Amino acid sequence: MFKKSPCDYWKCANAVGLFLVALFVICFAWYFIRPVEQELHMQMMKLSFFGFEDMSVVSFILGAIQSYVWGYIVVGLWTLVGCCIKPGKGGGGCCGG
């Protein structure tokens, strides 16, 4: 009766979350690889991640967890907006319109 989308919420959210964690790991490592403007780099990390204090193991774990959770939030919002904007076959999408 209903077709399942090829990329359901959990698969997409997991993929986006893992992608954001990979970006966080690269950004964290870049602090040590290219030590230019380290103070600016640290300020950006503190602005982006709750509880990020310094380049330590605890901050790394907090940042990685938050990056993964942001993947679920972004895909959830994307799904919500996409669901309410794109009309289905019956017209109006899932929000009624």
Please report how the helices 57-85 and 9-33 are oriented relative to each other, as an axis angle in degrees rounded to 10: 140
Q: Which two tokens stand for residue 26?
A: 């690269």
Farthest-apart Cα atoms in the chain, separation: 57
pLDDT (tens, 9 = 90+) of the chain, 97 residues, equals 455 556 688 999 999 999 999 999 999 999 999 988 999 999 999 999 998 999 999 999 999 999 999 999 999 999 888 866 555 554 444 444 4
pLDDT at 9: 87
pLDDT at 69: 97
What is the length of the chain? 97
